[in-house]
């Protein structure tokens, strides 16, 4: 069975964007105390950056299970995974999005993989998962699917 693992790290530009807390906190705290301004600015930036890194979910396909963040599902309950990029991915995340779908999407990762569910008891029709390597993720999901065991 193919294995796949991807950590959905924040893009570098996100760290540049959160650096805007530095001048904002300096504007507020420098008139009170330069030391307080610098310490607050550094603390807010480092805290924000740490939260971005620590909150990055992992997507994994191994041992017949798809794990996306905290959720996991047996691959025998999945249909054919479809990798989507460009305008197709944008449409999937927007106009075509089913409100019942289970999502693990990150705004800084444009491509997605659409994974239909074949479990009739699951209220979600599909999972939509962000991926920087959607072709590999879809291939790993499709390659690890096995028929549901009959009892």
Predicted structure pTM score: 0.83
Q: Is 86 helix (H, G, I), strand (E, B) or coil?
A: helix
Q: 67: which strand partners? A: 60, 72
pLDDT tens digits for range 62-105: 999 999 999 999 999 999 999 999 999 999 999 999 999 999 99
Instruction: Name the helix (H) or strand (E) containing 4.
Output: strand 4-7
pLDDT tens digits for range 15-54: 999 999 999 999 999 999 999 999 999 999 999 999 999 9
Domain extent listing, the chain = 9-54, 57-144
Q: 73: which strand partners? A: 66
């Amino acid at each position: 069975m193919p294995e796949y693992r991807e950590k959905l790290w924040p893009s570098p530009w996100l760290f540049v964007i959160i650096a805007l807390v530095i001048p904002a906190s300096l504007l507020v705290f420098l008139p009170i105390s330069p030391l307080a301004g610098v310490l607050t600015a550094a603390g807010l930036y480092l805290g924000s950056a740490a939260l971005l890194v620590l909150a990055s979910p992992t997507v994994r396909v191994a041992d017949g299970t798809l794990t996306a963040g905290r959720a996991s599902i047996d691959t025998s309950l999945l249909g054919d995974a479809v990798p989507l990029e460009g305008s197709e991915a944008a449409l999937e995340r927007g106009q075509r999005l089913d409100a019942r779908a289970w999502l693990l999407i990150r705004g800084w990762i444009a491509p997605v993989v659409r994974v239909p569910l074949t479990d009739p008891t699951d209220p979600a029709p599909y999972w939509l998962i962000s991926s920087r390597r959607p072709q590999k993720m879809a291939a790993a999901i499709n390659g690890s699917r096995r028929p549901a065991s009959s009892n």
